[in-house]
Structure 1
Amino acid sequence: MKDEDDLEIFLVATPGLEAPLYAEAIEGGFGSPQKLAGGVVCRGGWREVWRANLELRGANKVLVRLGSFPAVHLAQLDKRARKFPWAKFLRPDIPVRVEATCRKSRIYHDRAARQRIERAISETLGAPVSSDATVRVLLRIEKDICTLSLDSSGEPLHKRGHKPAIAKAPMRETMAAMFLRECGYDGSEPVLDPMCGSGTFVIEAAEIALGLMPGRSRKFAFENFASFDHDAWHELRKRTQTHETELKFFGSDRNEGAIEASRSNAMQANVDQITQFQHRSVSDIKPPTGPTGLIIVNPPYGARIGDEKRLRSLYGSLGKVLANRFHGWRVGIVTTTPGLARATRLPLLPPGPVVDHGGTKIRLFRTEPLK
């Protein structure tokens, strides 16, 4: 059983982006962060769980470990699940969904294990079980140790709650934020995306510059937990600091629908005053007036839109425009293969780790300021 002021909190990362999420957790003052495969574990009370959901840009989910116990057969799992203090965590009036996984254990039947937990919750607490419930209890059985966790987020955290319009092959907000961090972006310079799609990189960069919390527009599963304190949550949300910026953030795309989507999303996110989106091709982009900054772009790649050979000329054109016109700007290119990145002929640094983008393996290729 966990002390409620010393919970184990697991921040789920996009595979390959654990390092920037770890850096973000340290910067955010989360307790004792440790980087693991698949995420970052830290410690704290329920307020830290709320804060992680509200503030962290790179976490996909925030899971809370409730406790663990050994069980080698279903009857033992059933008995221990019925003794578990569900009322400390769950409310009897809120539906619950249970998900189970079994690995290297004598209990090997996921569905049977899940049913034991569902019955224990419904019969000892009285909470209804529903397959579409917002509150999700996770059971993991590994090497005969049963670990129970709660998903405190509900909807994945890339769903910020203020981005209604989505373009083709969108970059998730959580990934965009971590790629920005990997490029050294901290909100103190302009950002330009010449193939902006629905505006994700530009809007994330503008939010960071303004200090806007990524979770400010949405609800979370933890609001239905037994531990939830509405007044304390309201106070926490009020205390988040925003600031002004003189900077502007720029996006362009040859697709007019993408530009309309970007403008709509920027307005919903309340960053439309500092963002500019223009309908133009890569060959027409020019540096905006003002300081140099970061160009970050997620161009088309083979697995997504067309074959690699055909795309090399697009990457070549992009690289030529950036090299000729954007002296002093750093570049970040998110793509699938070194071959496509090299087609830009830009002076690339060693690439970042492989990142899993919905089954497609992508990497960040960066430059120093262009000379």
Structure 2
Amino acid sequence: MSNEDFEIFLVATPGLEQPLASEARELGWQPVVQPGGVAIRGGWPDVWRANLWLRGATRVLARVGSFRAMHLAQLDKRSRKFPWAEVLRKDVAVRVEATCKASRIYHAKAATQRIERAIQEELGATIAPDAQVVVKVRIEDDLVTISLDTTGESLHKRGHKEAVAKAPMRETMAAMFLREMGYDGSQAVLDPMCGSGTFPIEAAEMAAGMAPGRSRSFAFETLASFRPRIWQDLCAESPNRPPAARFYGSDRDAGAIRMSVANAMRAGVAEAISFECRQIADLQPPDCDPGLVILNPPYGTRIGNKGPLYGLHAAMGEVFRERFKGWKIGIITSEAGLAKATGLKFLPAGPIVAHGGLKIRLWQTAPLG
């Protein structure tokens, strides 16, 4: 493999590949949308930067090499010749995950065992089922592609959010839904059902230019290719400017508000966000220029049953129409009927997004007249 330039695959939440591609483009890469994510090219510093800075990626895979193999003996021979020492350390445990598709090698477990043995015997590394370093092997059309999961724990785990409400919105998804609404860091953002505060916290971090991965560690720190000094320089690039806008979260549940405040403090954005306990019926627009209202209300399949939710959505729509002139409204739901119950005029619905076994989408309005 070339250390300078290889394919890097940014795994996306299915349905959110396009906003992730636009985020990658803004960070200076030339993204190509592929099923399940976005491919870019670069070297190891690009891998580290992608983990540190991308808000919409779930994980970052470094595609470190490929070769053809028609049968297991060939897979065994070629995987023993692979330059494992360039990317893996022999003192760090590894696990291997293999998949086979449309190939003469069709037995994924046998393929996994061959590659594990090659790593064990040629490099001297331990194979462990709970290892943080994962070698992902895809055998498709007899081409063996070897990737390293450079992330470790999923990137939606930013490292500064401990308290989570029920039915939470993942940070990666929240950031991409904000992007889909045209959020650029300059607008006020309000979530009137804020749960553990994900939308206002993500919006405030984006406005402050904070790196989403600043509070956590990554699997790439235990690879042979890791250079701590370059990584420290990359981490020092986070500008952390004071946000130009303010952010707002409210919820009828006092416990959710306490959680949101604690999460915002850990994230370092508490001063930019106002949280308060209030019902949707009592919602008033904050004293600022119109911005974005974005919320992830209950949708029946998630909490309780649907009956009362139609009334809730109708009341919500009325509050927005009467009090939020000039604001754009974004509602994330799995039920088109609930979105329509608001009586708001929506733009064409966003793509279907996979979320915990549900299919959700963003319904957004133009600025309300």
| TM-score category, normalised to shorter length | over 0.9
**Deviation of 1:201 (Å):** 0.5
Determine whether 1:280 maps to 2:274. Answer: no
Partner of 1:139: 137
Matched, 1:4 2:3: yes
Match of 1:289 in 2: 287
Unaligned runs of 5+ in 2: none
What secondary structure is seen at the aligned counterpart in 1 of 2:361?
strand
Taking the TM superposition and a 5 Å limit, the aligned residue runs for 1:238-277 are 238-277=236-275
Question: Counterpart in 2 of 1:204?
Answer: 202
Deviations 1:133-152 (A, max 9, x none): 11110011112211110001
Moved over 2 A (4+): 306-310
- Measure the CA separation in 2 of the matches of 1:269 and 1:56: 16
The equivalences for 1:117-136 within 5 A come to 117-136=115-134
Separation in structure 2 between the aligned mates of residue 246 and residue 220 of structure 1, nearest angstrom: 31
**Within 5 A, what are the aligned runs for 1:62-101?**
62-101=60-99
CA contact (8 A) 2:56 2:172 kept: yes
Correspondence list, 1:221-232, <5 A? 221-232=219-230
> Counterpart in 2 of 1:13?
12
**CA-based RMSD:** 0.9
Q: How many aligned positions are there?
A: 369
Deviations 1:165-195 (A, max 9, x none): 0000000000000000000001001100000
- 1:358 and 1:5 map into 2 onto residues whose CA distance is 37
- Which position in structure 2 is the counterpart of 1:150? 148
| Correspondent of 2:104 among 103, 106, 114 | 106
2 CA distance for matches of 1:263 and 1:97?
Answer: 39
- Partners of 2:204 and 2:243 within 8 A in 1: no
Aligned-partner residue type, residue 186 of structure 2:
S
Partner AA of 2:265 in structure 1: M
User: Contact conserved, 2:208 with 2:239, CA < 8 A, in 1?
Assistant: no
The DSSP-based 3-state class of the residue aligned with 1:351 is: coil
Of 235-244 and 182-191, deviating more is 235-244
What is the identity, as a one-letter code, of the residue corresponding to 1:128? Answer: T
Q: CA deviation at 1:307?
A: 2.9
**Cα separation, 1, equivalents of 2:40 and 2:14:** 18
Taking the aligned partners of 1:213 and 1:339, their CA distance within structure 2 comes to: 37
Instruction: Give % identity.
Output: 60
Shift of 1:358: 1.7
* Secondary structure of the structure 2 residue equivalent to 1:40: strand
CA deviations 1:187-217 (Å, max 9, x no partner) are: 0011000000100001000000111110000
Verify the 8 A CA contact 2:207 2:244 in the aligned structure 1. Answer: no
Structure 2: how far apart are the matches of 1:240 and 1:296?
26
| Aligned partner letter, 1:47 | P
Query: SS where residue 179 of structure 1 aligns?
Result: helix
Larger CA deviation: 303-312 vs 254-263? 303-312
Asked if structure 1 preserves the Cα contact closer than 8 Å seen for 2:261 and 2:275, the reply is yes
- Contact 2:70–2:142 at 8 Å: present in 1 too? yes
Output the TM-score relative to the length of structure 1: 0.98
Q: Give how far 1:240 is off.
A: 2.2
Query: What's the secondary structure of 1:189's corresponding residue?
Result: coil
Query: C-alpha separation between the residues in 1 aligned to 2:156 and 2:175?
Result: 10
Give the whole-Å Cα distance in 2 for the aligned partners of 1:202 and 1:246. Answer: 14
Where do 5+ consecutive residues of structure 1 fail to align?
none
Q: How far 1:239 sits from its partner (Å)?
A: 1.7
Where in structure 2 are the equivalents of 1:157-176 lying within 5 Å?
A: 157-176=155-174
1:317, 1:306 → 2: CA distance? 18
